[in-house]
Structure 1
Amino acid sequence: MKPSRHHLTRCRRCGAPICWALTSANGRRQPIDAEPTEAGNLAVMQAADGVLYVRAVTAARPEIRPGEWQAMPHHATCTSPPPRRSSSSGQRARSGVRPVPWAQR
């Protein structure tokens, strides 16, 4: 099963066709590839209200139910991913900390 046309949009970085779905775990939006694939680790379904919902295919729930299809998260397949954030090895500026030691009496 494929997502309907009104769910399709394009990735701003690579231009690939994607769909936005809500995660069943916490309701956050997640981009998924529009083309279903057997290698996907997500199960996507369209609810009665027309919203796409996605859940992870895990060892505890590996089966794909009727009405679901497998897809890949677009973050895993994007050809122009956003640059990685560097972990700063230097010290960060502290806020809310006294810049001098406490005066001793």
Structure 2
Amino acid sequence: MKPSTAHITACRRCGARICWALTTANGRRQPVDAEPTKAGNLAVMQGPDGVLYVRSITVARPEIRPSEWQAMPHHATCTAPPPRRSSRARRNSGVRPAPWQARP
């Protein structure tokens, strides 16, 4: 099974076709390659609410159900270089500790 065209979008960094899915473990969004592949370690399915859900293929649950397709996480296949981190040291922007003084 393939994702519907309503779920497919382009990666902002490399332009590849991806789908955004919610993880079943914690409900966070994860980019997934739109093309199914047998080398993938994720199982993606469309829920009854129309949202894509993704789960990891593990030893405990290695089977792919008929309503799921096998895919790769896009972070593993993105061809764009990783974002650069700032070389400057991060500045602390908090309250400086001050000695406690009693008010008169």
Question: If the length of structure 2 is used for normalisation, what is the TM-score?
Answer: 0.81
Partner of residue 28, structure 1: 28
Partner of residue 39, structure 1: 39
Partner of residue 14, structure 1: 14
Partner of residue 55, structure 1: 55
Distance in 2 between residues matched to 1:53 and 1:11, nearest whole Å = 18
Amino acid at match of 1:52: L
Amino acid at match of 1:46: Q
Distance in 1 between residues matched to 2:81 and 2:71, nearest whole Å = 18
Amino acid at match of 2:48: A
Amino acid at match of 2:71: A
Distance in 2 between residues matched to 1:61 and 1:19, nearest whole Å = 23
Report percent identity of matched pairs. Answer: 73
Structure 1's 50 and 91: CA in aligned 2 closer, same or farther, altered over 3 A?
closer
Structure 1's 85 and 41: CA in aligned 2 closer, same or farther, altered over 3 A?
farther
Q: Which runs of 5+ in 2 are unaligned?
A: 100-104
Indicate the RMSD between aligned Cα atoms, in angstroms: 2.4
Structure 1's 48 and 6: CA in aligned 2 closer, same or farther, altered over 3 A?
same
Distance in 2 between residues matched to 1:85 and 1:63, nearest whole Å = 39
Question: If the length of structure 1 is used for normalisation, what is the TM-score?
Answer: 0.80
Distance in 2 between residues matched to 1:94 and 1:50, nearest whole Å = 43
Partner SS for 2:30? strand
Structure 1's 46 and 82: CA in aligned 2 closer, same or farther, altered over 3 A?
same
Distance in 2 between residues matched to 1:67 and 1:59, nearest whole Å = 20
Amino acid at match of 1:61: R
